[in-house]
Amino acid sequence: MTERLDWTIFRKPSVISVFLLVALWNISVSSNLLTRALEGQGAVRETARAIRDINLSLQLRFYQLLTHGRPIPFQPDHVSLASIDDDTHWTALYGNQPTSRAYLARLIINASQTRTKAAAIGLDIELLAPRNFPDGADARTRFDDNQALLRAIKFATSQGVPVILGGVYYVDERGRYVDLPKIYTLEDLLRPENPDCSRVRCPAFGYLNIPDDQRQIPLAKDLHSSDTGTLELVDSFALSLAKAVRGPQEVPRDPVLSGKTPLDESILGTFLREDEYPKISVPSLANGEPTAEQACAGRIVLIGGYWHDLQGYGDYIDQHLSPAGHVSGMVLHANYVESLLQHQWTRELPVWVDVLIDLFVGMVIYMCFEAAKQWWWKLIVLVCTFFIPIICAYLFLDLANVYLDFLFPVELYFLHILYEIVEKHFTIEAKKPDDPKKPDDLKKPDDLKAEVRSKA
């Protein structure tokens, strides 16, 4: 079945090249080391981002299979979705951009009624100041609507329902992360009551930007103020909501929410499909219908847009590929919040560990393949070793709660082996017309030694 292993295979330039490619792929694509370097324009950056996106798409699908196979409970225990759909946006709101602040105010007030009040309300809507306007400013034509929304937020705060508003950052020409100005400042939300936010749950902001790798839970980021240029650590939208629900008394005792555990954007969440989350009818909630208000009781009400961009046709706005398939940004935020509140998140292994595991798996694959003598044994070995990365990834995730981000790079080994088989086959076929017997220059050293011993 097997023959003596020829260790010289690991000195072949083609094999060395594949090992180097796998290591470089993991370092440059499957980690965050070059994320900042790939931002911006240019043929090289755009090509590198396209290659990274191919790998990311494969990883999203693979991660979904792994997480769905884990024996852990993960249900939409906290978040309900209130989606502004096509009928609401294009008919009731006449497709207005920005979304009517007065309409949002009605939703917040009705979701904060005493007997049916929500645990928290999240506005997955960009309430940004117009271009070249300072923070806390907006067009005069929207003054009344903005005041109505501000009063609704303060009413919710008085009812013990924190409202989290979304912000957005961008990368400027100097590579800095800059927080875009919003129509309200934090002082606007807290005046004139000035509640003690160390004791009560207060309204807050959180950035809505979603990581390039949608598996990652956005936590906090150092952002430069667009007005003053000062640097400030800003929580993500999901982290702000999770903190608001837990409250100032519980957050300090939670190592994840408090930041006592050193976490970065390399923690991966668990995901549910859009149809698995409870829904709240936005028109019914705006009209104050009892069933809609009752559906808010004790839940995080996430309000966001989910309409088609061409008056009910075309593509949905704010769609993203995720481990749960194509979902809206609002559903991604819902998954991030649920993962944080239920502590259903996973760490990635360090890049250098990924690289070492990749190299070890590659050596095992080559050794097993070379040790097999007959072609059908080689085929069996190739099929069996193909599942080694998948099995390893599942065991690490299930037993140690760490994720191995190495699916696509490892498969380069199999592509190379397939190339070797095809290349050797055609070389042999090319030699057949001159010499039907197996040419000596195509025989392995062990083959030649065996023939010498048999003749002796």
272: left (phi over 0), alpha (psi -120 to 50) or beta: beta
Domain ranges of the chain: 7-70+348-455, 79-343
What percent of the chain is modeled with pLDDT above 90? 38
Position 41 scores a pLDDT of 66
How far from 292 is each of 81, 105, 278, 373, CA to CA, in Å?
A: 12, 15, 12, 69
- Residue 14, pLDDT > 60, answer yes
Angle at 85 between CA 155 and CA 184, to 5 degrees: 35
Average pLDDT over residues 430-452: 53
CA distance 207 to 122: 12
Overall pTM > 0.85: no
Position 1 scores a pLDDT of 44
Contact (Cβ atoms closer than 8 angstroms) between residue 303 and residue 121: yes
| Tokens standing for residue 96 | 């207005």
Amino acid at 244: A
- Residue 448, pLDDT > 50, answer no
Neighbouring-strand partners of residue 121: 163, 301
- Residue 205, pLDDT > 70, answer yes
CA distance 69 to 71: 6
- Residue 378, pLDDT > 90, answer no
- Residue 147, pLDDT > 70, answer yes
> For 224-271, what is each residue's pLDDT tens digit?
988 787 899 999 999 999 999 999 989 988 878 887 665 555 788 889
Distance of CA 378 to the CA centre of its chain: 38
- Residue 329, pLDDT > 90, answer yes
